[in-house]
Amino acid sequence: MEVVAVDEVRQALLDGRRALPGVGRVRPGAAGSLPFVVVDDHDVEIAPISTFLRDLMLTDMSPLTARSYGHDLLRWWRLLSVLSVPWEHASRSEVEVLVGWMRSADNPQRHRRRPAAAPAGSMNRRTGKPSLRQGYAPATINHALSVLSTFYAFHAQFGHGPVSNPVPVSASRRARLAHRSPIEAQGEHRRAPLRQKPPVLLPRAIPDGLFDELVGAMRSHRDRALLALYLSSGARASELLGVRGEQVDWTRQQVWVVSKGTRALQPVPASPEALRHLACYFDEHGTPAADEIIWRTLRGTPRPLPYFAARRVLQRANALLGTDWTLHDLRHTTIERMTSDPALSLPDVMAVSRHQRVSSLDPYLRPRVDDVFERLQRHYTQPRPAQTLTPGYDAADFRTVFGG
């Protein structure tokens, strides 16, 4: 009876009919070597996870990466608690249950709290962008598998955990990567078992007309300056929101941001229009000191503008215009405009976007569906060219051979 009950639990998880318990959480750590800690339902630190996350930090990983890994491992810990399987005894069978659950379970982050919000998976008529579908995306599942594989590979070095890594790997991929020059493009290989097929990424650039409309929906000089700087710099949302007063170079028309990947201070371009809006914003609300964040709230006591407040600025404009643009769409728009400019080379685009690999630009090099359809519409309306014979051929001979 006990075996039957366990099988029923596994099947219920595979089908997404059973939710994982909300035990444990990821909370900030007390030490810089461990910025985030995964704790159980008694608020006790889970030692194997902390050891792994601390090693990530010592190898110069971002604290945000440690938090992301922590959430993936917390999900895994909750699944094992339902199956009553210790982490060091986990096998591929438990990994299969995790993948099945993520493929079929409800993702709470896809819940729409606003009544007017578009349902998951629907298409916005104005932008042509599909909203995120219900459930967990294939990339999220693959990321969870990568985290688990790295977690168990780390502990295997010290003789802990199962004898073999419970996350299956692709032998052909390992063989290709083992004998590949780092300057060569990565070849095609079969996906590892349980890995999901990633979708084909398409550019999400904002057309010029819709961007002008978006700028017109901004309520203040601060919002217009923020929007124009996002578009001209190609910076990520969090990077630009961290700019301080001393990091605005008016003479060279650039701002300095802390890059997300390297965490190095790097310059990004600023258009004259963006700097003009920024100057108006400073004139209206005061120029920040050298060590102050330049983006501040406009109501109440001025304080640094958080990411969620910046996103809310765009959400208000979306509600007015019937669109669904995001802050990251502005970065996509910048890169798409640069890649379509014949005067700019791919190294130029990589220098501005701060991508480390040329393959990261692949989505921007694919033709936009809207542009292809527009060219096809022009093709359909063009008159068909009149067919004429090549000089030297007799029309009577053609009529004799082909008729007509």
Q: Which of 144-153, 182-191, 210-219 has the least mean pLDDT? A: 182-191
pLDDT number for residue 174: 52
Instruction: Give percent above pLDDT 70 in the chain.
Output: 92
Whole-prediction pTM: 0.79
Rounded distance between C-alpha atoms, residue 31 and residue 44, angstroms? 16
Among candidate residues 244, 365, 231, the one with its CA nearest the CA of residue 304: 244
Among candidate residues 68, 69, 101, 66, the one with its CA nearest the CA of residue 82: 101
pLDDT number for residue 188: 61
Q: Which of 4-8, 112-116, 123-127, 267-271 has the least mean pLDDT? A: 112-116
Which whole-number Å values give the CA distances from 289 to 188, 244, 251, 313, 336, in the listed order?
52, 8, 18, 24, 34
pLDDT number for residue 1: 40
Q: Which residues contact 202 (CB under 8 A, 6 or more apart)?
A: 363, 366, 368, 369
Q: What is the pLDDT of residues 274-315, one digit of tens each?
A: 999 999 999 999 999 999 999 999 988 899 999 999 999 999
- Region 142-153: mean pLDDT is 97
Instruction: Give percent above pLDDT 90 in the chain.
Output: 62
pLDDT number for residue 191: 86
The CATH code that applies to domain 208-362 is: 1.10.443.10
CB 291 within 8 A of CB 247: no
Q: What is the pLDDT of residues 42-58, one digit of tens each?
A: 999 999 999 999 999 99
Higher pLDDT, 106 or 190: 106
**Residue bearing tokens 């958080």:** 306
- Region 247-270: mean pLDDT is 92
pLDDT at 183 over 50: no
The structural domains of the chain, with segments of one domain joined by +, span 1-107+134-169, 208-362
pLDDT at 202 over 80: no
